[in-house]
Structure 1
Amino acid sequence: MRIARLDLIRYGGFAGKTLDFGQPACDLHILHGPNEAGKSTLMQAVSDLLFGFPHHKGQDWQFDADMLRVGARLAQGDETLDMIRRRGRVRTLRNGDDTTECDENLLLRWLGGVDRERFERMWSLDHQRLRHGGETMAALEGDLGEQLLAAGFGLDTVRSVRDSLDRQASALWKKGTGRNATRLHELGRRYRTARDTLSRAASDTQDWVALTREARTLEKTLTTLDQALRDEEASLTRLQRSGRILPDLRRLETLEAEHAAYTPALFSVEETSRFHALLKEWADLRAERDDAVRKREGLLPLRAACKPDTAILAHKTTIGDFRAAFAARAAREQALSEDQAAMRALESDLKAQGLEGTPEAIRDALPDLALIGIMRPLCDETERLARRRTEWQAARSLAQHALDETMLRLDALPAYPVDALRIALRQAERGEDPDRALERLDRSLAGNRAECAQAMRDLAPWQGSVAALDAMAIPDETRLTQARDLWRSRIEAERNALEALREQDRVRETLELELRQLEREEIVSAATLETVRRERNALFSALIAQPTRPGPDDIAAYESARARSDALADRRFAAAEKTARLAALEQALERNALDRRQSENALASSREARKNEAALWSRELAASGLPALDPEHLPGWLARRARACAAFSAQATLTAERASIQCHRDRHLEALRQLVPPFPAFPGPALPGRDGSPGPEEAGVPPGSASDATACPEDPTDRQERAGRAWSSLGDAIAHASTVLEGWEQNETRIRTRQQDAEQHRKRLDALDREEEALSHAEDRLDAAWSNVLRLRPDLTRCDSATLALMETRRRDTETLLRHRERLAREDEALRDLEDSFRAFLTRLAPQDALSERALADRMAECVLALETATIDADHAAKLDRGIAEANAEIGTHQRSLTACEAQLADWFSRSGTQDMESLRAVFARSSVCHARLEEMDRLRSAICRSGDGLALETLRQAASETDPDILPALIAEHETRRDAKRQEREKAVRRQGEIDEQRRHIEGEDLARDAALEMETCRAEMAIEAERWASARIQSLLLHRVATRQRPEHTNPLLQGASHLFGRLTLGRYQGLTVLDSGTPELVGIRAGEQGFVRPGQMSEGTRDQLFLALRLSAVEQAQARGIVLPFLADDLFITFDEARARAGMDILTDLSRTTQILFLTHHAHLAEPESLSVRSGATRHTV
């Protein structure tokens, strides 16, 4: 099974991440990502996908737990399965569209019975577990079997589990320890103590009989006392009840008499409550109405005294306007004074500049601003064109000089065939370096030849050629599986038959030993036991029947008979069990003999069948050209054959690739010889001449220089030989040609640069000529514009910008002076109009003051003051009017409410026959007293019933009338005295009864015997449980020891054989393989090459121990694959402790394994995932996490 596509839909930090693994020939996938990119999360995702999410999963930190989804497309052969795994407890596997459930049986079948723990132990390996595995190999150095289990199958806790089981069994029972050293010893001691206590338990029969009679008498006495106590309690309760209810009964009778004497209440309780509330409301309304009347009377005099001036209030708006106008005039006076100062300053400036006359005359003599605006761009354009003319002349001279210099330098440069050499170099450099490729292929071929030789050695005992290997007829997987299953079933049947025979022999020996022991023991008859029991029963009946206390002799005779009966019963019981056991043993021996004959027949049949099947299988293998191996070992040999075929195929591929690269190299080398001139020396190591003299480079002459051709003359033949020797490496030729090309390109670059410079200079000259023509046109247009302007004002001449700016400033100053004069005149006219209007208003307001000589400002202040006073009086009068209106409204509201209250009281006045409020209040008071009396009577009746123990009121009255209240306390005290006496007598009898029971229990010894019997049963049960626990621990420890022992034989362990080959490859031949030293205890060691020495795992370096652990784990994966279990192998940063060479060897092994098993290799090292790395060039696919 393999993963064709992995979809991390919502998992951990991934969302919508898809990894498409496709179906390449090399199923090795390198997943590269930096630290914290999610590689470990991806490994967990694969486990969760195949086996479901754990109940407590930590990948829901970004998404809710119910949103987690991991999907994939799994493939096995031609079958595919699109699935999505969600978080949950049941029905978590869904189809690829996440809409329906998916049948999990297909996935379980593909997994081949592998669960999550086994998958993560064997098919998932990271650096931490690799390091831990290497340390485990060193720690388990003394036990080969546990080393193989730890490395091959991930069972690195076998020794710790065995030690724990042994400690547990030793704590339960261990032979040779002290009496109380273990749990079972302690339980045996407690059992023996309880048995002794039970045998010593006895009782005194006569005392027991006397105490029994006394107990019966006391029971009758207690019955009589209980009845007397119940009678006394009933009488006392009746008297106490009468005493409780007498005061309430007397009060009730008094109230009933008063109620009968008075008139019933005229008004109900609700009417009384409503009357009191209405009466309070009526009083409150009268008080509030009187307060409102007093408030109104206080406001009326104040309103009569407040009289505002209505005449001046009528002109409030006019006075406000005049006030604002005078204020604005005062504010403008400051600005007018500033304008006057500015006017004086401008006049002084004009005089200082020599301008005489009025401002109007000065303004007319200067050009207006519009004409100045026309003249300004003309002045600016005149100056700009003058600057452009000067700049153009300088630029034209420089451009012509630069063009002349460039043409001189361009004529001095030579020309070379650059394009042809560049094309030849590009073709030669395309792809990988042929020399390095040839070296790499040579190394690969050497390694491949060693691998092929090793593969042929691994095929022993078979010997033959590669053609014979290819011509073999390989049986299909179904036939191999059937043969292997049949072979295993035969082997297992034989093993089971042998185990059954051994077990039957052990059972027979045990039964015969127990049979001989039972035959030597005696048996008690049932008749003898019955006789002794009748004698014991007769003695006991005689003791019970005696009217007096039995004598010591009678009691001793009874105890002797009882002890003899118990002893015989125990012997009979034990003998009965043994007799039944004896018969059972004889039957068991007969069954054992029959079972043994059946097992012997089954063993013979199984061996014969296996012999026939082995002969048939050998003939089938011989016909197919395969070696004579059993079905158990043939798949492993076929896997090694497949590796050998793959190695020879790879050798043929490498050879063809080397020939192609050699042809490519020679073709490009010849092309470079045709293009590059044969210089006498090249960059790189200097080649000596024929006479051994140093080359040009050794003499200090740089290659390609002018002195190179003249200082070292040589004949053409010598030059050809030296060139051929120098160009024996394509890399040297490419380097030399590249150097030559670099010089030619630099020369070509200089030519192009100077040509471009010359072209630029010519373009610059053309541009300058066009610029001079445009400049002439601009000057003509400027002269025409000046002529047009001067025709408007003949008195003006052409001027520069500075003169024009001075004329503009004088013009603006003159116009500003004239504007100030006009504004002052307007302000004086506005002030005169305002004063005239204000005088007219004063004449209308107060004619008698019209001719007053006071200032207008004082008159304005008096008007404002009078207006403010009239406004205040008007506001106060309005406030008083509002208060009077509010008081009148309150008086009316309260009067209406009083009328409504009096209307409600009218009905009660008519019913009471009075019109006086005090008389009506008295009638309601009498009704309230009557209602209170009735409530008190009801309360007393309820209290009497509660105190009367649930009896009716009439019954209680009858009982109280029959009791004299004067003698009631004496009667109660008398009954309490008699009750206490009865209680004391009863307590005395109860104490005596308890003493009798205690004495009887002590005599009978029931507690001691029962406790002893209970202790015996408890010890029996606990001993059975602890014995079962001891047996379970011992069996588990022995099973683990047997499993580890079965891993030790080297010649029967394909795991160790495959690991030996892989370990040699991982260590690059430093170790030839692995072997087992059996000097009493089998020990796994590495075989060091050359020195013929053995190295234990503890003596290896950390990296080598990691490689040993990896070899064993990969061999276990191959063995699982041979058994038909093919699952993806997950590896996370396995090569951290490997050097580069061994890391390449490890990657080669993973590449070989990936031809049959999908491998997902996760790493954060970029060099393992680069295109030029060995892993990627070998066919691996790179993915980014």
Structure 2
Amino acid sequence: MRFDHLNIRAFGHFTDYELLFDPSKNFHLIYGPNEAGKSTTLRSITHFLYGFPVQTNDAFLHSNTKLRIEGLLKKANGQELFFARRKGNKNTVLDGNEKPLNEELVNEFLNGITKEHFLNMFALDHVRLREGGDSLLQSGGNLGESLFSAASGISMLRKVFEDLEKKSGEIYKKKAQTPRLNKLLKEEKELAKDIANCQLKIQAWKDLERTFTESKKKIEDIHQQIKALRSEQEKLKRIKEALPKMAKLREVTKKLVELGEVPNVPENLEGLREAAQSKQNNAQNYKQRAKQDLVELEDKLMKIKIPEGLIEQASLINDLYLDLKNYQDNLKKLPLIQGEYKLLEERVLSFMKEIDSLQAGLDNIDLFRLSAEKKETIRALCKDQPLLEQKFENNKSALRALDDELQLKQEELAKITDLPDIHELENVIDIVKRAGDIEGNIQKLEIQIEEKKNQINEKMRHLPLWTGTYQELVELQIPRLMETVKKFEKERIDFLNSLQTTQKQIKFQKDEIEKHYERIAELEELAEIPSDDNLQRVREHRDKGWKLIRTKLQEGSLDEQAEAFTKGQAIETVYEDSVRNADHVADKMRIEAEKVGIKNKLLTDIEKFKKNIADLESVELVTEEELDKWEEKWKALWRPAGINPLSPEEMREWLEKHTQLKELVQNLKNDESTLQSSFEKKLHMKQALMNVMSKFVVAKDNQSLDELLMIAERYQKKINGDINNQNNLQDGFKEIKRKMENLTTVKTEIKEKMNRWEFEWAKAIEGTHISETTRPTVAESLLNKYEETIKAYDELQKVVNEQISLREQISYFENRVKELLQVAPVQYDEQHFDLVVNRLNADLQQATRDNDLFTSLSEQCENLKARIKKAVSEWNEAEETLNGLFKLAQCDSIVELEQIERNVQTKKEYESKIIEIEEDLLTHGNGRSLQDIMEEAKQIEHDSIELDLEEIKRKLEDLEPQRSQLEQEHGVVKKEYEEKILGNNTASVLGEQKKESLLAQLSNLTEQYIQVKLATALLQKGIEHYRNQNQDPILRRASEIFSRLTLQSFAGLSVDYDEKDQPVLMGVRDHGDKVSINGMSDGTTDQLYLSLRIASIERYANENEPIPLIVDDILVHFDDTRSKETLKILLELSKQTQIIFFTHHARLVEIMKEIATDSTYQITEINSNVPLNV
């Protein structure tokens, strides 16, 4: 795809500004100075393809609704798409007929590329170029990232990875405390523990629950009694209120029956009767008034008289009356025309006499007419004569001036002596200049070497564990593989983590033992709880006493052990006490069986914790021994280098600093080698200059190369100036000779033209009153006299024609009046035709008015007759209506009909009243039917209703204090019940609700964490896939471009592997040395990124429909040499895809003209849409 043209109709400060892209060229350099509108044009391309943004700063001249950009896109297969883009919310793409166009057609031409993808991949400026170079540095030259970044245009790819890693770390990090997910996990664990502690214990609330249930049952019973009494109370009140309404209903029903039978007539009977009577009265009155009006109109008709035949001639009279003004004007104008004719005749004769008095007469007018050709010929010859004379004089002056200049050139040329040959000197100067600023480079290298030495010494001062020189440091035998250090680091972390975990577990076991002892103390606060060991001890003490008693019974005496058992008391007493004590302990254990079980469980757990502590302390000891062995291996690893290492983390940082120092030392050696080569090159160039200069000027050994070059160039410039001066004089001499020959030829041609003019002059004046000796100025004056004569004669002829026309019009008008008078019904005086026409017109107007009045009065009479007939008809219709009403009401007069109307109204009122009472009863009947309400009232003794209500009221007043007392007592129990039971459950429920909220947050954060991690993995996988698919072709082409952009400072690119065995990009010098991305300058990294970018675009264009590359001043940091090479590469790229290069640097326009022909590119200056090289 390519742009064929872009028309900025209304955008920014542009109005109807068109950019034409030559279809035969694919590289378009668009130049414009600052503030010319380059940035606006760039934005217009993006807005044209993808639409205007919601907010734009380009609507300061044209309003938002007027913004518009048009253009023509063309595919490689020749398919074209013209469309216009306007600002709006929908239908923003229009075709050539201003009709909406489907946006998908534009997307198809763009290969479905989004706006962001287009800006990243196919739009490049110096900022994106610098960001791309920085991205290469940040990635350390990682091959996959470098290729993907250049191909996609995402310059800060490493920052994307860092942002993803930072975002995932903010959500969750292993063994950390502050990330949000870690905090929520800890909070959820603590909440689960709190919920478990809030579980209710059964034994504490059995009695409370029983009391609560019983009191609740009593309250429900008394509520049922109160409810029944209130229901009966409401029923009696309802019947009490309904009794008067029922009595009223019976009374109205009785009146309705007494009214008797009423005819079935319409509800609006009274209205129908009154309307019919009113209609009869109105019809009668209207009929009488119409008859009176009819008599008056017929009298007026009899008085109107119209002359016969006058109206039939109305058309002719009107036409004459319209032409009357013209007739009167013509009568006045005729004498004036005759006077004008006399004046013009005298003027024509006067002109003719001035030219030729002998032939002055109107009959000879044709002798004074000259053809247009003859007049124009004479005028042209009059103009040519002075011009020819002037040319002849100018030619003579120019020949004299050239002859003088020729003499001066000959004298100057004779003064110039023979000039020396300086070709050898020029060759040596060219060789020295192509070698570049050698002395400047030497100075820069010396500064760089000193800076690098200072940098190395500075880094050495900050490198711990080393006090030797940097030369010894780079030769030091240290662990080379970073993975080895990482392995030791991991082992140390594992040992420390294991040791820390073991110590935490020991502390946990000890804390649990302490908590268990505290729990046992809580159980024994009110009374000591015996354990199985206590029971075993008291039973053993009891059994020991029995054995002593049995021994005494068998042997008759006690042994020495009895003294220790009895402690001086009677054996029987001591034994009885031991039996009672054993029974007491056993009873105590039976009574406190639950607490005994808890205590035994706690004691068992304590023993288990103690065993666990012993096992964990053994593990702790083994781990400490393993950590000591690890430390010995770690020190042994560094012993060959004589270094007592710090921790692996610190030594990994130490190794990185060591690697950086080695690279700096290697760069220092490279610079020192380059410096030595530069010194040798300088001496060689200096000697070559001195050898060749010795032939022309004196050169000193102590002069620098730059000074020698300046002297040589100055001498070269002087000799070349002399040569140029000599050549210019010789060329000027030849040019003067050529000009003199040309002037001599021109002089001959002028003489020939003057002879030809004299011949044509004699021929042109033949047949006129101009002689051959008459001067051209006099001849021109005579021509004007001829023209004035003919012009005056033509005006005279117009007056004659106008006089004839006036007379014909007057005669025509008078003849028409005469014809009218022959057929008119009246006679008139024919001497003054204008008065006759006025009189006829006045009579016609009066006759017309009378005729219109007669017609109008006749129509009114007819209307009155029709209205009288209609009134009679309406009276009859009303009579029929009244007869129909009599029949319906079964009566014969208006009086009877009016009485029936009153009966109908009374019946209607009774029926409405009955309905109203019944609806009122139903409304207050609590959903009962009217029949049920009546039956319910019959079952009640009406006179005892008041007494029943008083009894119910008394009972309710007795029950209410009982209910209040019970509810108060129940409220106390309920409060305790809820506090001890429902309170814990509420805490559990609230805890569960909070836990659900935490789990929802955990789910959300976990999903976010997975998304971020997946995004990182997918991006990495995409980068690796792109690298595997495109590494070889893109890297091969990028290597060639990179070598050219760096002016062969680098031979190309290669792939190496870092300490993580990851492929990285390396620059390759001519001698094979490899330079990492970190070792390149900013300018070089920019050139590397540009190389990769161009190679990626070439590959895309080869495999897809090409997309134009939009470039905006990417060469601002490039010198002229690199700018030339870059433009050459872009010209090559333009063979595959269109390139639109914007710049405000005039120097790039000059460079473009130096490196390419007009047929390969197009230059257009903004605000001047004419290409500069067209």
- Taking structure 2 as the reference length, what is the TM-score of the superposition? 0.53
* Change over 3 Å in CA distance of 1:418–1:648 after alignment to 2: same
Name the structure 2 match of 1:435: 439
Deviations 1:1119-1177 (A, max 9, x none): xx99999999xxxxxxxxxxxxxxxxx9989989999x999xxxxxx99983479x99x
**Which of the residues 721, 724, 736 maps onto 2:701?**
724
* 1:406 matched to 2:409: yes
Q: CA deviation at 1:307?
A: 2.5
Contact 1:379 1:801 in 2 (8 A): yes
Matches of 1:766 and 1:868, distance apart in 2: 97
Contact 1:264 1:930 in 2 (8 A): no
* Change over 3 Å in CA distance of 1:226–1:591 after alignment to 2: closer
Deviations 1:110-140 (A, max 9, x none): 969963347899xxxxxxxxxxxxxxxxxxx
* 1:323 matched to 2:317: no
Matches of 1:948 and 1:672, distance apart in 2: 136
Q: CA deviation at 1:775?
A: 1.1
Counterpart AA for 2:1117: E
> Following superposition of structure 1 onto structure 2, how do residues 39-58 of structure 1 map, counting pairs within 5 Å?
none
* Change over 3 Å in CA distance of 1:976–1:306 after alignment to 2: farther
Contact 2:512 2:609 in 1 (8 A): no
Name the structure 2 match of 1:307: 306
**Which of the residues 160, 163, 166 maps onto 1:116?**
166
> Following superposition of structure 1 onto structure 2, how do residues 464-475 of structure 1 map, counting pairs within 5 Å?
none
Matches of 2:938 and 2:520, distance apart in 1: 97
Counterpart AA for 1:115: E
Name the structure 2 match of 1:669: 686
* Change over 3 Å in CA distance of 1:231–1:624 after alignment to 2: closer
Counterpart AA for 1:253: K
Matches of 1:902 and 1:956, distance apart in 2: 57
Deviations 1:410-429 (A, max 9, x none): 44456565776555444433
Identity within the alignment, %: 9
Matches of 2:502 and 2:293, distance apart in 1: 129
Counterpart AA for 2:679: Q
Deviations 1:856-902 (A, max 9, x none): 4xx31441453255146426634763675587479769968986997
Q: CA deviation at 1:437?
A: 0.9
Q: CA deviation at 1:952?
A: 5.9
Contact 1:413 1:751 in 2 (8 A): yes
Name the structure 2 match of 1:807: 782
Name the structure 1 match of 2:1117: 1170
For structure 1, list consecutive stretches of 5 or more residues without a partner in the other structure.
1-6, 23-29, 51-72, 87-106, 122-154, 159-211, 527-571, 681-718, 1026-1120, 1129-1145, 1160-1165, 1177-1182
> Following superposition of structure 1 onto structure 2, how do residues 840-919 of structure 1 map, counting pairs within 5 Å?
840-846=815-821, 854=831, 856=832, 859-867=833-841, 869-871=843-845, 873-874=847-848, 877-878=851-852, 881=855, 884-885=858-859, 888=862
Deviations 1:470-521 (A, max 9, x none): 8979776766655543343234324444555566678779989999999999
Contact 2:382 2:780 in 1 (8 A): no
Name the structure 1 match of 2:614: 596
- Give SS of 1:948's match: helix
Matches of 2:151 and 2:258, distance apart in 1: 98
Matches of 1:892 and 1:1154, distance apart in 2: 111
Contact 2:465 2:644 in 1 (8 A): no
Counterpart AA for 1:600: S
Matches of 2:713 and 2:788, distance apart in 1: 81
Matches of 2:500 and 2:1084, distance apart in 1: 34
> Following superposition of structure 1 onto structure 2, how do residues 487-526 of structure 1 map, counting pairs within 5 Å?
487-497=492-502, 500=505, 523=528
> Following superposition of structure 1 onto structure 2, how do residues 448-459 of structure 1 map, counting pairs within 5 Å?
448-451=452-455, 458=463
Name the structure 1 match of 2:709: 734
* Change over 3 Å in CA distance of 1:231–1:627 after alignment to 2: closer
* Change over 3 Å in CA distance of 1:985–1:321 after alignment to 2: closer
Q: CA deviation at 1:401?
A: 2.0
Contact 2:456 2:661 in 1 (8 A): yes
* 1:447 matched to 2:451: yes
Superposed CA RMSD in Å reads 7.3
* 1:485 matched to 2:502: no
Name the structure 1 match of 2:921: 948
Contact 1:289 1:894 in 2 (8 A): yes
Counterpart AA for 2:403: Q
Deviations 1:554-596 (A, max 9, x none): xxxxxxxxxxxxxxxxxx9999979966973675256335423
Deviations 1:704-755 (A, max 9, x none): xxxxxxxxxxxxxxx55xx2212xx222233333444444455455455545
- Give SS of 2:528's match: coil
Contact 1:392 1:768 in 2 (8 A): yes
Counterpart AA for 2:777: A
Q: CA deviation at 1:315?
A: 1.9
Q: CA deviation at 1:438?
A: 0.9
Name the structure 2 match of 1:396: 399
Matches of 1:896 and 1:347, distance apart in 2: 87
* Change over 3 Å in CA distance of 1:494–1:924 after alignment to 2: same
* Change over 3 Å in CA distance of 1:225–1:784 after alignment to 2: closer
* Change over 3 Å in CA distance of 1:845–1:631 after alignment to 2: closer
* Change over 3 Å in CA distance of 1:1122–1:242 after alignment to 2: farther
- Give SS of 1:307's match: coil
* 1:642 matched to 2:659: yes
> Following superposition of structure 1 onto structure 2, how do residues 79-118 of structure 1 map, counting pairs within 5 Å?
115-117=165-167
Counterpart AA for 2:617: S
Contact 1:639 1:1122 in 2 (8 A): no
- Give SS of 1:523's match: coil
* 1:378 matched to 2:396: no
Counterpart AA for 1:724: D
Contact 1:406 1:758 in 2 (8 A): yes
Matches of 1:455 and 1:594, distance apart in 2: 52
Matches of 1:219 and 1:818, distance apart in 2: 138
* Change over 3 Å in CA distance of 1:804–1:508 after alignment to 2: same
Matches of 2:314 and 2:911, distance apart in 1: 80
Contact 2:918 2:930 in 1 (8 A): yes
Q: CA deviation at 1:961?
A: 11
Aligned pair count?
819
Matches of 1:242 and 1:505, distance apart in 2: 88
Matches of 2:221 and 2:497, distance apart in 1: 81
Contact 1:399 1:761 in 2 (8 A): yes
* Change over 3 Å in CA distance of 1:585–1:448 after alignment to 2: farther
Contact 2:761 2:772 in 1 (8 A): no
- Give SS of 1:261's match: coil
**Which of the residues 671, 675, 678 maps onto 1:658?**
675
- Taking structure 1 as the reference length, what is the TM-score of the superposition? 0.53
- Give SS of 1:315's match: helix
* Change over 3 Å in CA distance of 1:724–1:375 after alignment to 2: same
Matches of 1:612 and 1:469, distance apart in 2: 27
Matches of 2:838 and 2:625, distance apart in 1: 143
Contact 1:299 1:880 in 2 (8 A): no
Deviations 1:148-184 (A, max 9, x none): xxxxxxx9x99xxxxxxxxxxxxxxxxxxxxxxxxxx
Counterpart AA for 2:750: L
* Change over 3 Å in CA distance of 1:407–1:350 after alignment to 2: same
Name the structure 1 match of 2:744: 769
Name the structure 1 match of 2:1157: none
Q: CA deviation at 1:378?
A: 1.9
Counterpart AA for 2:746: E
* 1:833 matched to 2:808: yes
